[in-house]
Amino acid sequence: MGGGLFITGTDTGVGKTFVACGLAALLRDLGYRVGVMKPAETGCAEKDGELFAEDAVRLKEASGCGVPLEKICPYQLREPLAPSIAAERAGVRIDIDHLLAVYNEISAQHDMTLVEGAGGLMAPLLPSFTYADLARVLKLPLIVVAANKLGVINHLLLTLEHANCKGLRVLGYVLNQIESPLSLAAETNREVLANLSAAPCLAELPFLENMEAKKNLPPDWFKERFEFRFIESALNRR
């Protein structure tokens, strides 16, 4: 069985899929067999009469993972809500044992499997089971993606503290600029966080306005910006 990483965030819309796709493409370019998984995706629009899990499709394309989409994303849900609520309203029950079995199947075929959550660590998959609990069950270290803006210090430190309370290993965090122009807070957040947390900053990513440009970035773009030695440490521990 290969290694794995759990990509979480401080909130929804902070760039988890962007970062996960970038890492997948980079690892693939370096010659690794990359598996991906999006346990549940909510807010899926309908396309050709079926729900379309856009994030899961992007992960599949970036990684070159040959696993069928229904395994990459076992639960595709229409309403843009926390997975537990979206599933309940759709008459679906999310089965954690099934997610674990699918992850093990994907991981067995790949050198590294990236699992992307939804929302943040405390977003519920079941009424009393969160993504933090899933990361613990899967025994995966975390990469935390945070929007580099005013307020991120509190959001990121709370996420890191919760991860510690759950006994999760944090590989590091990514500061992703989602606003333009660069604010004074965004300019200083990395330095402030370095004094408040032992978790390393794996990357500080600039603002990119064009979604198509984000999808077509070459792997070297991420390699130049990531502290890849931390990712290698996870590969070496598989």
Which residue from 109, 111, 133 is spatially nearest to 39, judged by alpha carbons?
133
Alpha-carbon radius of gyration of the chain: 17
Q: How far apart are CA 50 and CA 225, in angstroms?
A: 37
Phi, psi of 181 (to 5 degrees): -80, 170
CB atoms near residue 167 (< 10 Å): 9
Name the CA dihedral angle for 111, 41, 209, 151, rounded to a multiple of 10 degrees.
Answer: -100
Q: Are 23 and 129 in contact (CB under 8 A)?
A: no
Q: How far apart are CA 163 and CA 205, in angstroms?
A: 23
Concerning whether 38 is annotated as a catalytic residue, the answer is yes
Q: How far apart are CA 168 and CA 165, in angstroms?
A: 8
The strand pair at 170-176 and 45-47 is best described as: unpaired
Angle at CA 168, nearest 5°, toward 166 and 204?
120
The side-by-side arrangement of strands in the sheet containing 3-9 is: 34-37, 112-116, 3-9, 142-147, 170-176, 201-205
The residue from 16, 38, 60, 149 that is catalytic is: 38
* Residues acting as catalytic residues: 38
